[in-house]
Amino acid sequence: MRRFEQVLRGRPPAVEAWGWALVLAALAYAANVIGGAHAANPLTPTAMTNSIFAAGAFNLAAWIMLFQRAPHLLGHRPASLRLIVAMLALGLFCALPAPPVVPLVLAIMGLALFRQPDLTRAGRDAGWLLLALAGSLGAPFLRPLHAMVARIDAAIVVAAMRLGGTTVALQGNLIIGKTSAIEVLTACASSAPLAGVILAFVMVVIYLRGRLDRADAPWLAASLAISIVLTEIRLSLMVPSSAAWDWWHNGPGNTIYELVALVFATLFPVIAALRNRARPVLAAQA
Amino acid sequence: MSVLTPLRVLILLLGLLSLHTHAAWFRLQHKAVDPVPVLVAGLAALGLQVQPPDGQGFVAATSPGCPAPLVAGLFAIDGGEHARYAQLLGPGTDARFVYMGQVAPYAEELHAPRRWAMANAQALLGLRNTPVPTKMVLVALPAACPQLVDEDWKQLQGK
């Protein structure tokens, strides 16, 4: 133990230890994204850059915002021995190439950051960004949850279509129409995009206003609700025929759905940020 | 304070280790091959007359000194396909299980899950450059030809 303490002579500031942990997590994230996209192809600098961009603009922007805040997460104090050991353990964990490792590490970092006594505003923002990014990267691994939600989605779509006068039958996650049937799989469940919607909300609000507020909660809820409604609408549009399924699943309909979802995912946080920023001014005028 | 403190060197090494393990892992994934053709080639290398795989992936083969055919198949090492490989093992058969260069008459004797985990740990550290098989080979030998038991079955799946 004494020898280990000797290694730690000249302890870095706590904020530097957090910065290193962030770098190691980012490295693992990039390696996963690049490796996953190019396991069978040669790695060129362009291909590597493209795979980072293809992994999601919101993910990339979240990392950029995290690194912008990294030097200001905490007050000025040296890193404790516990923090350094935890950071090294997280770094070692990041060396495991299993994709669920990164979201797990980010979630641990986010939760741990909120427990720091000298957390700054930038630190709080970074905590929310870490948790939102962990949710966004980890959501695909919550398959049992998405499978459960897929059955509920199927039931909702069937109920809505019956209300609209269409004859459809429900069997588990299968929606059976007159001439075709669709199976709501985990990636198509309404819960699948929610973590991404939360990430978009957190990022846009922090970017526009610099902080998250309790008053944003209803806007976040509205953002999530719209995302769910959009998914149900898209599913119900797929049911009538295999051509309709193809159009909404693989064709232009999919692009339309994604664009509309993106508009709502960014519109609600923009409204939340602008309204809640304007409120104190209005109160002062009154 | 020096820029290159022992702690920073340690972190740098962790970063390099992370890059190394990820690169090794994805290189292995790229190398992963369909095990059925490998099984067919392995049976042919033992001098057997091999039939094309059937719909279930079972491969029948005959030895020059034995008129009855043997049947080989690939099964998950976790025992989850026990019912499937039980189809191959009837009263008139002897079983040989092969996993990563080891042969045993019973699947349990191969300790396949433990060896799979060890091999994956080696792969993660970049100490292994061949894919870790997730399936073991079962060869159902006709009991009428006991000489087949002594064949070098471990060749069917290398380490």
Q: Which of A23, A211, A15 is nearest to A121 (CA)?
A: A211
B78 — pLDDT class (breaks 50, 70, 90): confident
Q: Residue B72's beta-bridge partner residues? A: B59, B139
Report the residue of chain B nearest A3, measured CA to CA.
Answer: B6
Measured distance CA(A163)–CA(A236) in Å, rounded: 12
B5 contacts A31? CB cut-off 8 A = no
DSSP state of A74: B
Report the residue of chain B nearest A11, measured CA to CA.
Answer: B7
Q: Which pLDDT value is given to residue A284?
A: 40
Chain B residues 129-158 with a CB less than 8 Å from chain A: none
CB atoms within 10 A of CB A245: 20
Per-residue pLDDT of B102-131, as tens digits, reads 999 988 888 998 999 899 888 877 778 788
Chain A contact for B159 (CB, 8 A cutoff):
no
Per-residue pLDDT of A205-225, as tens digits, reads 999 988 888 889 999 999 999
Q: How many Cα atoms occupy the beta-carbon half-sphere of A228 within 13 Å?
A: 16
Whether the per-residue pLDDT at B94 is higher than 70: the answer is yes
Q: Which pLDDT value is given to residue A283?
A: 40
DSSP state of A218: H
Tokens representing A118? 């000298």
Measured distance CA(A254)–CA(A261) in Å, rounded: 10
Q: Is the ipTM, as predicted for this complex, more than 0.85? A: no
Residue with tokens 């910065």: A19
Return the number of CB contacts < 8 Å for A and B: 69
A7 contacts B14? CB cut-off 8 A = no
A12 contacts B7? CB cut-off 8 A = yes
Q: Which pLDDT value is given to residue B21?
A: 86
Contact B94, B141 (CB under 8 A): yes
Chain B residues 65-94 with a CB less than 8 Å from chain A: none
Q: Which pLDDT value is given to residue A247?
A: 93
Report the residue of chain B nearest A37, measured CA to CA.
Answer: B26
Residue with tokens 């700054």: A120
Residue with tokens 């045993």: B104
| Cβ contacts of B8 on chain A, cutoff 8 Å | 12, 20
Chain B contact for A39 (CB, 8 A cutoff):
yes
A23 contacts B18? CB cut-off 8 A = no
Give CA A51 to chain center in angstroms: 17
From the CA of A27, how many Å to the nearest CA of chain B?
A: 7
Q: Give counts: helices (H), strands (E), chain B.
A: 4, 6
pTM: 0.74
Chain B contact for A96 (CB, 8 A cutoff):
yes
Per-residue pLDDT of B7-62, as tens digits, reads 888 899 999 999 888 888 877 777 777 888 889 999 999 999 999 988 888 999 99
A95 contacts B21? CB cut-off 8 A = yes
Ranges of chain A whose pLDDT falls below 70: 1-10, 38-42, 276-286
Q: Which pLDDT value is given to residue A282?
A: 40
